[in-house]
Amino acid sequence: MKCLELEKKRILVTGGAGFLGNQVIEQLCKAGANREKITVPRSRECDLRVMENCKQAADQRDIIIHLAAHVGGIGLNREKPAELFYDNLMMGTQLIHAAYEAGVEKFVCVGTICAYPKFTPVPFKEDNLWNGYPEETNAPYGIAKKALLVQLEAYRQQYDFNGIYLLPVNLYGPEDNFNPKSSHVIPALIRKVHEAQMSGVTRIPVWGDGSPTREFLYSEDAARGIVMGTQYYNESDPVNLGTGYEISIRDLIDLICELMEFEGEIVWETDKPNGQPRRCLDTQKAKQAFGFTAQVDFKQGLKNTVEWYRQNAPQLVA
């Protein structure tokens, strides 16, 4: 398996200041990249929805890892579907084109599990990505990100542009987004339990009926998988990054309550959406293609995330 040596590469990591981005930069450095050659554009100075900014960002780069996304949980997907579609499509498609024009050696696009059809046979195999429409609440986001896979495949076919597309499952870990307006399920539940404990509340509302299942990948594992893909994978076919471990939302909240020693009641709000019924990935392709397997045990990863939140909760704004 030929390795892309990173030491002399000029690397752009969009979203590099975020939850996953920080981990990706750490893993890049562990794999030999020079931190001084890694550039992280910040959205307030470099809005990637503007083509000129994409051109400037891509100029004189050898590798681009595109993590930047406008993303959130079910609540944000219901509230701002148009923004999620437009922002993610424009950022990605313009940056890919700018990278091609700038002669970038490799483009690593991080997609989303939301791109899979609503009723995908479990475990999700990459071959099933186009076998139906995504779950309705996150379809605008999922389709915008999936369009980038089509673009990369087209640019490889016509221009021989080396772009790869990785599909990490739901991420979690320290430094996650705990804002209740835009957070995903794990940080949202951890925050709910913590705030209930702080205020003496004994009942916690949770959306849905608890029956959907999810798979979660610790951020450090995801970052390691992205860097391994960057170094060793050079094909157009998408690749799942996950653990293969599936847990129901009901069991998830029970585990969080156990770890946080919360003994109150969970109130299921069955008038709220469940989201996709099941999510669990087939992870064999990543193992075969570039040797990636997840290493962090889910309960340990969850414990690390709870501890980080408790230590940092006072500094986190709403």
Q: What is the pLDDT of residues 108-122, one digit of tens each?
A: 999 999 999 998 999
Establish whether 232 is a catalytic residue.
Answer: no
Examine the pLDDT at 68 and tell me if it is beyond 80.
yes
Q: 140: buried, middle or exposed (CB in 10 Å: 19+, 13-18, 0-12)?
A: buried
pLDDT of residue 318: 53
pLDDT band at 42 (very low <50, low <70, confident <90, very high): confident
Report the relative pairing of strands 247-248 and 213-214 from DSSP bridges: antiparallel
pLDDT of residue 57: 97
- Calculate helix-pair angle for 19-30, 219-232, nearest 10 degrees: 50
Contact 106, 163 (CB under 8 A): yes
Name the helix (H) or strand (E) containing 213.
Answer: strand 213-214
pTM here? Answer: 0.93
Asked whether residue 17 is marked as a ligand-binding residue, the answer is yes
Asked whether residue 299 is marked as a ligand-binding residue, the answer is no
Q: Smallest Cα–Cα separation from 16: which of 54, 55, 60, 68?
A: 68
Name the helix (H) or strand (E) containing 193.
Answer: helix 185-199
Asked whether residue 15 is marked as a ligand-binding residue, the answer is yes
Name the helix (H) or strand (E) containing 185.
Answer: helix 185-199
- CATH class label, 11-172+215-245+277-295: alpha beta
**Which is the catalytic residue, given 141, 165, 218, 233?**
141
Examine the pLDDT at 58 and tell me if it is beyond 70.
yes
Contact 60, 7 (CB under 8 A): no
Asked whether residue 21 is marked as a ligand-binding residue, the answer is yes
Asked whether residue 207 is marked as a ligand-binding residue, the answer is yes
Asked whether residue 92 is marked as a ligand-binding residue, the answer is no
pLDDT band at 222 (very low <50, low <70, confident <90, very high): very high
Give the model confidence (pLDDT) of 6-39 as tens digits: 999 999 999 999 999 999 999 999 999 999 999 9
pLDDT of residue 279: 87
Domain ranges of the chain: 11-172+215-245+277-295
Asked whether residue 168 is marked as a ligand-binding residue, the answer is yes
Residues 6 or more apart whose CB falls under 8 angstroms from that of 207 comprise 74, 269, 272, 273, 274
